[in-house]
Amino acid sequence: MTAAVFLLGFVTVQRLLEVLAAARNTAALRERGAVEYGASHYPFMIALHTSWLGGLWLLGHGVAPDMGWLAVYAVLQVVRIWIRATLGRRWTTRILVVPGERLVRAGPYRFIAHPNYVVVVGEIAVLPLCLGLPVYALVFSLLNAVMLAVRIRVENAALAAAKDQ
Structural domain contains residue 154: yes
Structural domain contains residue 23: no
Structural domain contains residue 6: no
Mean pLDDT, residues 79-90: 97
CB atoms within 10 A of CB 73: 20
- Distance in angstroms (rounded) separating the CA atoms of residues 13 and 108: 25
Structural domain contains residue 2: no
Is the per-residue pLDDT at 74 higher than 70?
yes
**pLDDT, tens only, 99-132:** 988 889 999 999 999 999 999 999 999 999 999 9
What is the full DSSP assignment across 103-161?
PP-SGGGGT-S-HHHHHHHHHHHHHHHHTT-HHHHHHHHHHHHHHHHHHHHHHHHHHHH
Structural domain contains residue 22: no
Q: Mean of the per-residue pLDDT values for the chain? A: 96
Structural domain contains residue 46: yes
Question: How many structural domains is the chain composed of?
Answer: 1
Structural domain contains residue 30: no
Structural domain contains residue 78: yes
Domain interval for residue 67: 38-163
> pTM surpassing 0.75?
yes
Is the per-residue pLDDT at 164 higher than 80?
no
